[in-house]
């Protein structure tokens, strides 16, 4: 397995990719998405009142931690180094803090070498889609909200890679395609827009505004 990315120019984007030798306990991602585990984690993190009243909001916020760790890792390893990380939920694990917030994604398998300029559609179908569908069903949160979270972090990672001089053609193709490879609408199509004044704005809301102490996110589409 190529570990060059751990010290290369993109290393700053990989804090959420936990090395296999890391001694901290990790729970397989498919188990972390089980109802009993999510119930316990969200209760510890947010408390019983919010869990009872704002569960979709809490699920949306929890999902962001996975996306912020996982999506930069997938993009860096493939686009900058030609390495395909394992994508199935049972091939990944989460390192969690004492409350249950994801601190990083740990690989349970190494992955394999591949072409840097190949489509990122496998990431959508094998990794993101089952994650979104599981969380949506659990938290009764619209899939569009969770896809919006994924698109937000995906676009941020693309901008950072472009600034580092990495060719991001497959990622741009994913963000600019109206249709997915299977003919369905692409849930990651144009997740972010830039206003005339340069302000960055999400296309879909993450629901954070519904909880007062969380408040609207920095790029909320509901804030003028």
| Mean pLDDT per 10-residue section of the chain, whose length is 224 residues | 76 91 91 96 94 95 96 97 95 94 94 95 96 97 96 97 97 95 90 90 87 73 70
Q: Work out the number of other CB atoms within 10 angstroms of the CB of residue 78.
A: 23
The CATH number of the domain holding residue 127 is 1.10.510
Tokens 């199935």 -> residue? 88
Query: Do the beta carbons of residue 106 and residue 90 sit within 8 Å?
Result: no
Identify the domain containing residue 28 by its residue range.
4-191
The torsion defined by the Cα of 30, 33, 36 and 38, in degrees rounded to 10, comes to 150
pLDDT at 144: 95
Q: Could you say which DSSP state residue 85 is in? A: P
- The answer to whether residue 102 is domain-embedded is yes
Question: Is 182 part of any domain?
Answer: yes
Count of structural domains within the chain: 1
- Distance CA(79)–CA(94), nearest Å, equals 23
The proportion of the chain whose per-residue pLDDT surpasses 70, expressed as a percent, equals: 96
Please report whether residue 12 resides in a domain: yes
216 belongs to a structural domain: no
DSSP string across 144-172 = HHHHHHHHHHHHHHHHHHHHTT---HHHH
């Amino acid at each position: 397995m190529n570990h060059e990315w751990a010290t290369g120019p993109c290393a700053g984007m990989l804090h959420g990719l936990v090395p296999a030798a890391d001694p901290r306990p990790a729970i397989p991602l498919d188990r972390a998405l089980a109802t009993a585990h999510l119930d316990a984690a969200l209760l510890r993190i947010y408390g019983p009142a919010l869990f009872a009243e704002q569960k979709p909001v809490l699920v949306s916020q929890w999902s962001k931690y996975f996306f912020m760790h996982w999506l930069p890792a997938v993009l860096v390893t493939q686009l900058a180094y030609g390495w395909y990380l394992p994508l199935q939920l049972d091939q990944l694990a989460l390192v969690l803090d004492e409350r249950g917030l994801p601190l990083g994604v740990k690989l349970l398998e190494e992955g394999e070498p591949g072409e840097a300029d190949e489509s990122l559609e496998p990431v959508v179908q094998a990794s993101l889609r089952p994650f979104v569908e599981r969380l949506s069903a659990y938290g009764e949160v619209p899939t569009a909200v969770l896809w919006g979270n994924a698109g937000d972090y995906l676009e941020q990672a693309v901008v950072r890679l472009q600034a580092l001089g990495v060719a991001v053609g497959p990622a741009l193709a994913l963000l600019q395609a109206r249709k997915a490879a299977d003919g369905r609408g692409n849930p990651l199509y144009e997740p972010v827009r830039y206003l005339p004044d340069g302000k960055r704005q999400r296309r879909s809301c993450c629901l954070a505004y519904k909880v007062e102490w969380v408040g609207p996110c920095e790029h909320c589409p509901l804030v003028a």
